[in-house]
Amino acid sequence: MPLPRELFDAIWRIPIDAAFAAAGLPADVRARWLNSVSSWLVADGVLDEKTGIARTGKQFDDSIDSVLSLAAAVGIVLGQAHIHQGEDPADGYIIGPGIKHEEPGHHSNVASETEQSSEA
């Protein structure tokens, strides 16, 4: 679906900036990374700077998923990440940036697990 740049930027910049912030990145680093992501989207042809029109779809979705994975990895390195497991352990885990409040059997903070394993 073609979108004007303002709407397109709001769709991806707001959640990506929030994910980077939750991962513990300072504002100046987040701004540089957001500008890099924007450049990647232009280089990949997702956003046409001449017309100001962007395309959504699989290429855009995959790009954003990759950046969210990067935010989770950065959060792990900076001790600002969490792991979530739902009711069915066979569903696996979701790792995300930011520290969540503990819910017994559902969440754990990567930072506290890392600290405990390094103390052992």
The tens digit of pLDDT for each residue in 1-47 reads 889 999 999 999 999 999 999 999 999 999 999 999 999 999 989 99
Query: Is the domain of 66 the same as that of 87?
Result: no
The tens digit of pLDDT for each residue in 43-65 reads 989 999 999 999 988 989 998 99
pLDDT exceeds 50 at position 117: no
The continuous run of DSSP H or E covering 4 comes out as strand 2-4
Query: Is the domain of 96 the same as that of 55?
Result: no
Angstrom distance (rounded) from CA 42 to CA 50: 10
Read off the pTM: 0.73
* DSSP string over 89-116: GGG--EEEESPPPP-TTTEEEHHHHHHH
The tens digit of pLDDT for each residue in 62-113 reads 989 999 999 999 999 998 988 888 888 888 888 889 887 665 554 455 554 5
Query: Is the domain of 72 the same as that of 112?
Result: no
Query: Is the domain of 12 the same as that of 58?
Result: yes
Query: Is the domain of 7 the same as that of 62?
Result: yes
Query: Is the domain of 40 the same as that of 99?
Result: no
Q: How many domains does the chain have?
A: 2
At residue 107, the pLDDT reads: 47
In terms of residue numbers, what domain contains 22? 2-77
Tokens representing residue 84 in the block: 């979530």
At residue 87, the pLDDT reads: 85
Query: Is the domain of 8 the same as that of 66?
Result: yes
Query: Is the domain of 61 the same as that of 97?
Result: no
Tokens representing residue 114 in the block: 């890392």
